[in-house]
Amino acid sequence: MELTLEKIISESERIVFFGGAGVSTESGIPDFRSEDGLYRQKYDVSPEVMLSADYFRSHPEKFFAFYKDKMLPLWAKPNTAHLAVAKLEEEGKLLSVVTQNIDGLHQAAGSKRVYELHGSIHRNHCMRCGKAYSAEDILKADGVPRCSCGGIIKPDVVLYGEPLDGETVEGAIESIARADTLIVAGTSLTVYPAAGFVNVFRGKYLVLINRDRTPLDEKCDLVIHGKVGEVLGAAVR
Ligand code: NAD
């Protein structure tokens, strides 16, 4: 009998969903490496440099101009993919979401156990006194966002050159290692160390849903080249 995503989901009890920027493109947020992704748009300095810890320290004005313009899509709503994943958790079939995204859309869709490997635009702290701020505070600030104490407010997102949060990494790896099915979706699997996490999977079914080919295609039990929202929406009713 042909192996389908519906069959895999119905047989699974401990699914982990591992996603990237492609999970949010159907919400209108561009990814990095697609045709219309951020890396194909023309900037004087590449997004990788602009989103680095060094650039944040040396050019805070330019960092925040780019960050506010491109990384704070507060208008975006969860799409069919986020909603389908939340439904799987509600049905008791999904252990957790491990995401490289920083947009918070899985939680907005209702997902509870979400490991945000690269942090979140919704958490921001003063670098001097630690006071917390919302994403809206960052967006409406004039230039570099400042705390009432005068310190710079830094988004809790992992910039290039910064390490991932230890507890988040531990939780994500533990969850993937316990999974019976790993669904990898909407990621080019080129950003490390996050991309390497899929290698700790020891379960039965490794599934990939992605528009373009990835280095993982050959190793999967099921590969679907399509839109993650459409594919998951049809498989999870
Ligand atoms: P990427 O841009 O490198 O790759 C995205 C992949 O998703 C591509 O292979 C593309 O073919 C695929 N894709 C795009 N739309 C799709 C769709 N609708 N259905 C199925 N596949 C689709 O993204 P990445 O691997 O996540 O790495 C980029 C890094 O950028 C991540 O670390 C992430 O933190 C960050 N990022 C986050 C956001 C966000 O939070 N929404 C947006 C852009 C970038």
Report the C-alpha gap between 182 and 235 in whole angstroms: 15
Name the burial class of residue 231, with classes exposed (0-12), middle (13-18) and buried (19+) by CB atoms within 10 angstroms of its CB.
Answer: buried
Q: How confident is the model at residue 37 (pLDDT cuts 50, 70, 90)?
A: confident
Domains and their CATH numbers in the chain: 1-29+77-118+164-237 (3.40.50.1220), 30-72+120-157 (3.30.1600.10)
Our answer to whether residue 118 is catalytic in this structure is: yes
pLDDT at 160 over 90: yes
Nearest atom (ligand 1) to Cα of 29: 41
Pocket of ligand 1, candidates 5, 25, 32, 232: which has the most ligand atoms within 8 Å of its Cβ, to mutate?
A: 32
Q: Is 24 in the pocket of ligand 1 (CB under 6 A)?
A: yes
Letter for the amino acid at 42? K
Q: Is 116 in the pocket of ligand 1 (CB under 6 A)?
A: no
Residues 104-127 pLDDT 10s? 999 999 999 999 999 999 999 999
Identify any residues that bridge with 209 across adjacent strands, giving them in sequence order. 185, 224
More confident residue, 129 or 1: 129
**DSSP per-residue string spanning 86-136:** HHHHHTT-EEEEEE---S-HHHHHT--SEEETTEEEEEEEETTT--EE-HH
Q: Is 34 in the pocket of ligand 1 (CB under 6 A)?
A: yes
CA 200 to chain centre: 18
Looking only at Cα atoms, what is the longest distance across the chain? 65
Q: Is 21 in the pocket of ligand 1 (CB under 6 A)?
A: yes
Report the C-alpha gap between 206 and 182 in whole angstroms: 5
Please write down the HEC assignment for all residues of 162-207: CCCCHHHHHHHHHHHHHCCEEEEECCCCCCCCHHHHHHHCCCCEEE
Distance between Cα 101 and ligand 1 center (Å): 8
Q: How confident is the model at residue 180 (pLDDT cuts 50, 70, 90)?
A: very high
Nearest atom (ligand 1) to Cα of 209: 20
Let me know how long the chain is. Answer: 237
Atom 32 (ligand 1): residue with closest C-alpha? 100
Q: Is 71 in the pocket of ligand 1 (CB under 6 A)?
A: no
Three-class secondary structure of residue 54 per DSSP: helix
Distance between Cα 23 and ligand 1 center (Å): 7
% of residues, the chain, pLDDT over 90: 89
Q: How confident is the model at residue 194 (pLDDT cuts 50, 70, 90)?
A: confident
> Which of the residues 82, 106, 118, 122 is marked catalytic?
118
